[in-house]
Amino acid sequence: MNDILITSLLIVSLFALLGSSVWIGLTLAGVAWIGMQLFSARPAGDAMAVTVWGAASSWTLTALPLFVWMGEILFRTKLSESMFRGLAPWVSRLPGRLLHTNVIGCTIFAAVSGSSAATCATIGKMTLPELSKRGYPDDITIGSLAGAGTLGLLIPPSIIMIVYGVSADVSIAKLFVAGIIPGIVLASLFSGYLAVWALLNKHRIPVPDRTESFAEKIYESRHLIPVVLLIGAVLGSIYSGVATATEAAALGVVGSLVISAFQRSLTWATFSESLMGATRLYCMIALILAGAAFLTLSMGYIGLPRELAAYVTSLGLSPFMLMIALAIFYIILGCFLDGISMVVLTMGVILPTVQAAGIDLIWFGIFIVVVVEMAQITPPVGFNLFVLQGMTGREITWIARVTMPFFFLMSAMVLMLWFFPAIAVWLPGKM
């Protein structure tokens, strides 16, 4: 009963602070301070100083601001326009034709971005005007972009994988490798749905203006060379063992600056805007991580993770039912928090339970990323929905409705991960 009262007090404190518009990082630290001050013998101030410094000075975390900066630089280049020109000729014969540029474009850009919102915004700036101009219906165009934009979290390098790797103390390089096959499978599910939808709605797909010859397709593919080289440099250096995730991130920043300079979009204004944009985003993430690290320590002193793990164990849930319960929990949580906050807020409590169930932490990391992807398109706090609302001016409820088929495809992906775990663990097992 005492544990229930403590938990209830901390939850009420958490939502009271969040509801009063206090920053999430400060909210986490505040709840941790309340818990440690009231329910443990260790001085809260001393523990907070040590924990926050340790969380903020992690070498592994250095990769995060670099990948964020790389995405910000590319966001301001002509890379997206070049990708569309290179991809469009190759999808003209598929059912749905240019609709597939949303999925393929997001898949490619996700491999150099690491951010769902950046992927959705960048590819949306490229495809939405073009598809609208050519007569493609808004519902499937915007819905497929919202769904495919979430691939920015799953296909490496992924910001949220770095956050999970730091929180769970697992290899970020292995997490990156583990995300490749699930990312390709999920992108294939999206494209498969678009093809089926197009076959059932042939009257809504515009007739192509012209059909390019094979030689013309090859010629237009030259526009993909910069992004392919950058992906090869970043991911190839990690998977070959030449560079750590942090060193590869630095290589990615240099490569994105070179591309920006080559395309003549590198000016002092774009450089400073990208640097300040990355700084603002990373400072927000770092504050959340620091607050979450202190909350994890506080709950450890109070003993809540052990009690929760014991309670879940006492329920006698099978590992499958535990995963279903966690998936529902994260989807509900995603209605109120962003993905990074969800991960850092819950890892301290969830990981002991997951480890007690004998679940592989690399596999669980991919599971978490897919479930967080689902939360990116659930109102009221679906980041991709916000991005598209700002770009299109549509009501967020309408955007959520047209995105719902892709939510169910992600649900199917969660089940595929459970019944075929090799999708996530086979490739990192080869490292």
pLDDT digits (tens, 9 = 90+) for 265-278: 888 888 898 888 88
Mean pLDDT, rounded, of the chain: 80
Q: According to the model, what pLDDT value does residue 3 have?
A: 59
Positive or negative torsion for Cα 218, 223, 224, 226: positive
Domain extent at residue 84: 58-266+303-430
**Residue that wins the pLDDT comparison between 215 and 145:** 145
Whether 278 is in a domain gets the answer no
Over range 313-327, report the average pLDDT.
82
Count structural domains, the chain. Answer: 1
Q: Is the pLDDT of residue 1 over 60?
A: no
Residues in the chain: 431
Percent of the chain with pLDDT over 90: 14
Over range 196-216, report the average pLDDT.
79
In angstroms, the CA 228 to CA 218 distance is 15
Q: How confident is the model over 374-403, as pLDDT tens digits?
A: 887 877 656 677 778 777 878 878 988 999
**Single-letter residue type at 34:** I
Whether 36 is in a domain gets the answer no
Whether 366 is in a domain gets the answer yes
Tokens of 221: 């593919």
Q: Is the pLDDT of residue 338 over 80?
A: no
Q: How confident is the model over 413-426, as pLDDT tens digits?
A: 999 999 999 999 99
Helices 159-168, 268-302: axis angle to 10 degrees equals: 30
Whether 18 is in a domain gets the answer no
Residue with token string 């995405």: 71
Q: Is the pLDDT of residue 190 over 90?
A: yes
Whether 8 is in a domain gets the answer no
Percent of the chain with pLDDT over 70: 87
Over range 211-230, report the average pLDDT.
78
Residue 388's Cβ-count burial label (10 Å; 0-12, 13-18, 19+) is buried
Tokens of 94: 């598929």
CB 56 within 8 A of CB 290: yes
Whether 52 is in a domain gets the answer no
Whether 114 is in a domain gets the answer yes
Tokens of 61: 């975390």
Q: Is the pLDDT of residue 193 over 90?
A: yes
Q: How confident is the model over 61-92, as pLDDT tens digits?
A: 677 788 778 777 877 777 766 777 777 777 77
Q: Is the pLDDT of residue 246 over 70?
A: yes
Q: pLDDT band for 2, please (50, 70, 90 cuts).
A: low
In angstroms, the CA 90 to CA 108 distance is 14
**Three-state helix/strand/coil letters over the chain:** CHHHHHHHHHHHHHHHHHHCCCCHHHHHHHHHHHHHHHHCCCCHHHHHHHHHHHHHCCCHHHHHHHHHHHHHHHHCCCHHHHHHHHHHHHHCCCCCHHHHHHHHHHHHHHHHHCCHHHHHHHHHHHHHHHHHHCCCCHHHHHHHHHHHHCHHHHCCCCHHHHHHHHHHCCCHHHHHHHCHHHHHHHHHHHHHHHHHHHHHCHHHCCCCCCCCCHHHHHHHHHHHHHHHHHHHHHHHHHHCCCCCHHHHHHHHHHHHHHHHHHCCCCCHHHHHHHHHHHHHHHHHHHHHHHHHHHHHHHHHHHCHHHHHHHHHHHHCCCHHHHHHHHHHHHHHHCCCCCHHHHHHHHHHHHHHHHHHCCCCHHHHHHHHHHHHHHHCCCCCCCHHHHHHHHHHCCCHHHHHHHHHHHHHHHHHHHHHHHHCCHHHHCCHHHC
